[in-house]
Amino acid sequence: MTSKKHKTPWPTKAVMEQIYEQHFWGGNDSDFYSGEGSHDSKIIQPYIDSVTDFFKSHKGQLSVCDLGCGDFNIGKALVPFTKAYVAIDIVEGLIERNQRLFKADHLTFKCLDIAKDDLPKADCVIIRQVLQHLSNREIQQILEKLTVYKYLILTEHIPVGEFTPNIDIIASSQNRLKHNSGVDVLAEPFSLKVKGCDVLSEVILDNKSRITTTLFTL
């Protein structure tokens, strides 16, 4: 009797490169496309409005670190309301493309693995629909680095109603919805310590799932 072999996960960098190369998130006519969640106006406009309102409440004086910036269709709308903006992604070709397309004196792009590499200093960190594609181990590695920031703006695609938080997965193009799960950084095994939290925006997609953006004070 042979034992069942465990699937060996690819390195996350290779996974993300394949997602863009194979257009797993759509956008066959684009060189890099971060999916409908970064392009559908019904999803992105409430997010952009709520986040820019938060930045405006700080008179545009917050420095921002965007972890997993993707194709920057959303980030480009936030940059004008910040003092400094560092946009990070793990896919080198994507960062090189963003550097060519998006320019501002206070905008910088960096290619980093946010689970493994040191992160830039900033007042506020943005993580938008990134953790949901990563393993619990990688999520924990990222969360441990966030204590140096004052604010975290976190967006996750989660089920409507009751769900089991933080079912573990391997890094992939998929999230935890098919397991009736989603990332909750305040729940086990993460239990992120925060001073406060406030929902900035929420979009119900199909009565089964929602995209929720929460502002955490760290």
Overall domain count for the chain: 1
Q: How confident is the model at residue 29 (pLDDT cuts 50, 70, 90)?
A: confident
Q: Is the pLDDT of residue 82 over 90?
A: yes
In a domain, 203, yes or no: yes
Query: At residue 76, what is the residue type?
Result: K
Name 182's bridge partners.
165
- Portion of the chain with pLDDT greater than 90, in percent: 77
In a domain, 163, yes or no: yes
What CATH number should be reported for the domain holding residue 106?
3.40.50.150
pLDDT in tens, 127-163: 999 999 999 999 999 999 999 999 999 999 999 999 9
In a domain, 4, yes or no: no
Helices (H) and strands (E) in the chain — how many of each? Answer: 5, 9
Contact call for residues 93 and 32 (beta carbons, < 8 A): yes
In a domain, 78, yes or no: yes
Q: Cα–Cα distance between 95 and 72 in angstroms, integer?
A: 10
pTM (2 d.p.): 0.91
- Taking the mean position of all CA atoms in its chain, how far away is CA 69? 7
In a domain, 3, yes or no: no
In degrees rounded to 5, what are phi and psi of residue 40?
A: -70, 120
pLDDT in tens, 85-124: 999 999 999 999 999 999 999 999 999 999 999 999 999 9
Residues of the domain holding 184: 12-217
Q: Is the pLDDT of residue 2 over 50?
A: no
In a domain, 122, yes or no: yes
In this structure, what DSSP letter does residue 127 have? E
**Nearest-CA neighbor of 129 among 52, 190, 44?**
44
**Nearest-CA neighbor of 77 among 117, 114, 104?**
104
In degrees rounded to 5, what are phi and psi of residue 145?
A: -90, -5
What are the tokens at 75?
A: 């980030």
In a domain, 5, yes or no: no
The three-state secondary structure class of 49 is helix
- H or E element in which residue 180 lies: none
In a domain, 81, yes or no: yes
Contact call for residues 159 and 208 (beta carbons, < 8 A): yes
What are the tokens at 175?
A: 């999230």
